[in-house]
Each structure stands twice: as structure tokens, then as C-alpha cells.
Amino acid sequence: MIGLEIHVQLTEAGTKLFCGCKSNYRGLPANTNVCPVCLGQPGALPVPQEGPVVYAVAASLQLGCRLPPAVVFTRKHYFYPDLPKNYQITEYEGAHGAPVCLGGTFKYLDPAGWEWRSVRIRRINLEEDPGRSSYLRGGILGSPVVMVDYNRSGVPLLEIVTEPDLRGPRDARAMVEYLLLTLEYLGAVNPRLEGAFRVDANISVPGGERVEVKNIGSTLDVERAIRYELLRQGKIVEHGGRVERETRHWDSARGVTRPLRHKEEEEEYLYIPDPDLPPVPIGGALLAKARRLLALTPGEVLATLEEDGATREQAWSIASTPSIARLYLETRGHAADKRLLARLLGVDLKGALQRAGRDPYSPGSLPPPTTITRLVAMVEKGEIPYDTVKGLILPRLAVNPSASLEELLPEKARVDESLILEVLAAERGAVCDYLDGEEKALNYLVGRVIRRLGRRAVDPRRLRSLIARLIEERGASICGMEGRD
């Protein structure tokens, strides 16, 4: 059996949970994102901040949870240099706290087999992240000093606890990836920021007790750590042993779990309701704000893409990159050929960005919707071959997303429609023949246009469909121009 505790920072909530310091402390000098509240100074009082509470409620709704009438905070006591108050504010139910999720069911997609599965959520706590300790050479046991940075102290953290419903290492990883994506769509978290989430995995085999593996920092490591632990426990059972209740530590560099402590060593936390914090009712304006964040979900984007005829690979590629998903939704209304658009954005633009070392997740890396709409229209009309878009234009847009198409189009691909119309007007007889149903007249016209365009002509197949379209649009008036030639 496998159950997870997933700790996700609300990196995009704006503020810390109980003070106005920033929720995203990355890149700031140590101990500059602090105030009396998150430093736990005597007399400082916590004030629940709207951003984190709204995002937590939205997350709870989006993960299929029942909401409590109010969230109630509790204190969890322990002593450690990175916890300046000597207690962490959380929502432990056992001490009359009320977590932001009272249980629910979360549906997620495993893109590998394109299978929707579900996992029960036991609860979600909204709590404070502690500060950050670091050690010199020798690590926690050998270092002569401990350095503490409180920039992270008080950052809002969701602790999402699942029932032991997960079916294996790969399934657990797929669930965490889809869960993070879902929270990213809400705008609550940027899961690619260093330290934005940590996972503890609980694993047991038949006849044994559960082992909790702490310190898993990536979704790949969720899979690796569980796989390792299942093997380790399986071997104990094979040799006639019994797996005892234990907490272990995941060592990502070595790919192994190591013993941390046994059950009997686990601390008592002296949980009490926090007397500084009245319950925060979940309703009214707060609930309305949370609901407004649910506008866009990966599931809806996937469904739209599938309806539009995208392949599953393209659909997942787009939906798993929220910035590109938004671009797709903004441009699909203008594209007659939506499969072409899905391929352009999900495969070739994303690939070009990755090859250029640009971040496809950052909206600033992407060309504006008008550029994409025009490109797709040009391909649809036969004005430019798709190979040129893929091989030439997208790689240039990846480096310079705000470049205009005029700058990017190669001479060869740019076909001046007015030149073609001039040729058609001069070849009125052939245009009339074509309109009368004589297919061969089109070959003749293509030849004339190529002669006129010279070496800069586009590929003849594209040119042929472009000329056919122009005759469809203008042929009748050209043919009707009596006495002009």
C-alpha cells in the first residue's frame, strides 16, 4: 500500500500565511524577507492573510474536497532553530483544529496509458513552512555552526494527505504530477521553483507495518524512492523477516532510503488550539474569490484539445504547459485547422523553445497570439509551407518572440499576392478556361506565375492551391473584365 503526504508551498499567494512578507523568497539575501511575526518575536500577533487562504480554499475545491464551515488553526510544538516561535501553526484535527479539506476524491490522468484514475484525499492542512537551516562541512552532525535563514519562515504550505490508494511507483508519480499541474492552473504554485514541493511516501507490504520515507524533492524521485522501498521491504519478507514501523530518509544522490528513527522515538507535539487565531469562516466573499480561480483546469483543456482532433501526445504536451495551453485557447477560435495549431504549439514551438534554451512555461517566452494566428492562416492558405514554419520561423521566434513575421519570413516563402493577381489579370483567357472547368489551365497559370516570381517561387504544390484560391475569390471578376486584354 502506498499513501503520500505532499507539501506544496503556495509560492504565488503573494504573502506569507500570517504576515505581509513575500510568499516567494527566492533570490533574496538571507534574512531580509522577515518581520516580527514570522521571526516569532514576543508580542507579535499572526493575522491570517487573504491570498493564502483563498488559494488554499480553491485548491481544496479543485482537488474534490469537502470544505469545513471554518478553518481552525492549532499549534504544533517542537524545538528547532528554524522554528523561532517553538511551535508551527497548523490545523491538527486532534486538537480541535479544522483543516481546509475534510476529505474528498481527486481524479488524475496518467498520460502514459491515457488512463483516468482517482485517489482519496484524507485531509489538507494549511500551515506555515519553517525557516531553513544549513550546515558547514560535516553536515548536521559534524558542522561546528548552524546557519538559519528565516526568509521561508511562515510561507504558506499545503499538506495534502492521501489515503493509501496508490497502485505503484509510476502511479504515485503520475498523481503528484497531475496534482501539481492542477495547482499551477489555479495560479497557486510554480512547481518548478526550487523547493516548491516535498513529498513523504508511506509504503507497506503485506504483513508488514508502514514505513514513512521523508525528503523526496522531485516527481522522478517519488517513483524512484517508492520503487527502492518496495524492493527493500520485499527482500526483508523474502528472508523471513518482518517490516517494522519506521521513518526513513530518501538519499537522492545514492538512490537509497536510510533509517532516520523508529516509532518509539517519535516526538510528542503538544498540540493545542491557537489562542491568537479565531476561526476563519469559509463563505461569502472569500469563497467567491476562491471559486473565481477555478476557471481553467487541465482536464478541460485536455477535453477541448481532444475535441479539436489533437493527438494525445500533442494534447498532453500543451495541457501540461499552462502558458502554451492559454495560447492555444486564445488562438484556436481563429484556426480553421486546429490540428495544425496543436502540432505547431505542442510539438514544434515547444521543441524550438527547448532547443533554444528558453523556458516554455514562462509566458514571456511565447510569441503573441496574433503572430500564431497569422502563421496558421498563412499555412492554411498555402502561402508558406509548414516545413518553413517548423525549420525556420519557429526557431527564430523561440529566440525573439516579439519579432514580426515580416522580419522572419524568408524571401522564398513570402509570396506577393498582388503579383499573382497581376499575372492572372494578364492571363484572363486561362482564368476563364479554368473557371469553365478546364483543369489543365491551372498548370499553365502556375507556370506563368513561377516565371514571373523567378527563383523566389514557393513550392509549386502550395503555389497551386494559393492560385486556385485566388481564382475562387477573384476569378469571376477577372474573367468578367471584358476588353481589358
Does 6 interact with ligand ADP (rule: CB under 6 A)? no
Within residues 406-435, the interface with ligand ADP by CB under 6 A covers none
21 contact, one of ligand ADP, Zn ion, none, CB 5-8 Å limit per kind = Zn ion
Within residues 207-246, the interface with ligand ADP by CB under 6 A covers 210
Q: Which of 250-284 are b and which e, b meaning 16 or more Cβ less than 10 Å from the residue's Cβ?
A: beeeeeebeeeeeeeeeeebebebbeebeebebee
Does 203 interact with ligand ADP (rule: CB under 6 A)? yes
23, exposed or middle or buried, with CB in 10 Å at 0-12, 13-18, 19+? buried
Does 89 interact with Zn ion (rule: CB under 5 A)? no
Secondary structure E strands in 84-206: 87-90, 104-110, 115-128, 132-135, 146-149, 156-162, 197-203
Please give the span between the terminal C-alpha atoms of the chain, in angstroms, as a whole number.
84
375 contact, one of Zn ion, ligand ADP, none, CB 5-8 Å limit per kind = none
Does 1 interact with ligand ADP (rule: CB under 6 A)? yes
Closest CB to ligand ADP among 64 and 164?
164
Does 5 interact with ligand ADP (rule: CB under 6 A)? yes
Does 3 interact with ligand ADP (rule: CB under 6 A)? yes
**Sole window of 30-38, 157-165, 317-325, 411-419 interacting with ligand ADP (rule: CB under 6 A):** 157-165
19 contact, one of Zn ion, ligand ADP, none, CB 5-8 Å limit per kind = Zn ion
- Give the residue at shortest CB distance from ligand ADP: 3
Cross-sheet strand order for the sheet of 87-90 = 87-90, 74-77, 272-273
Closest CB to ligand ADP among 67 and 203?
203
Does 161 interact with ligand ADP (rule: CB under 6 A)? yes
In degrees, rounded to 5, the angle at the alpha carbon of residue 167 between the alpha carbons of residues 166 and 172 is 55
163 contact, one of Zn ion, ligand ADP, none, CB 5-8 Å limit per kind = ligand ADP
357, exposed or middle or buried, with CB in 10 Å at 0-12, 13-18, 19+? exposed
Q: 24, 162, 320, 388: which one contacts ligand ADP (CB under 6 A)?
A: 162
Does 248 interact with ligand ADP (rule: CB under 6 A)? no
**Sole window of 58-66, 199-207, 255-263, 340-348 interacting with ligand ADP (rule: CB under 6 A):** 199-207
Per the structure block, which three cell numbers stand in for 372? Answer: 500564431
Q: CA-CA distance, 377 to 372, in Å (whole number)? A: 9
Q: CA-CA distance, 67 to 103, in Å (whole number)? A: 8
Closest CB to ligand ADP among 214 and 469?
214
CB atoms within 10 A of CB 306: 16
Does 23 interact with ligand ADP (rule: CB under 6 A)? no
Q: CA-CA distance, 42 to 13, in Å (whole number)? A: 26
Q: Among all chains, which residue has been given the C-alpha cell 502540432?
A: 343
Report, in Å, the least distance between residue 103 CB and ligand ADP: 12
Does 175 interact with Zn ion (rule: CB under 5 A)? no
Q: CA-CA distance, 155 to 9, in Å (whole number)? A: 7
Report, in Å, the least distance between residue 24 CB and Zn ion: 13
Report, in Å, the least distance between residue 356 CB and ligand ADP: 41
Closest CB to ligand ADP among 206 and 240?
206
Q: CA-CA distance, 202 to 209, in Å (whole number)? A: 10
Q: 50, 82, 110, 163: which one contacts ligand ADP (CB under 6 A)?
A: 163
**Sole window of 28-36, 138-146, 302-310, 380-388 interacting with Zn ion (rule: CB under 5 A):** 28-36
423 contacts 452 by C-beta, under 8 angstroms: yes
CB atoms within 10 A of CB 317: 23
Q: Which of 413-425 are b and which e, b meaning 16 or more Cβ less than 10 Å from the residue's Cβ?
A: bebeeeebeebbe
301 contact, one of Zn ion, ligand ADP, none, CB 5-8 Å limit per kind = none
Q: CA-CA distance, 219 to 214, in Å (whole number)? A: 13
Report, in Å, the least distance between residue 38 CB and Zn ion: 3
Closest CB to Zn ion among 21 and 470?
21
Report, in Å, the least distance between residue 198 CB and ligand ADP: 14
CB atoms within 10 A of CB 240: 6
162 contact, one of ligand ADP, Zn ion, none, CB 5-8 Å limit per kind = ligand ADP
- Report the interface residues with Zn ion, using CB under 5 A: 19, 21, 35, 37-38
- Report the interface residues with ligand ADP, using CB under 6 A: 1-5, 161-164, 202-204, 210
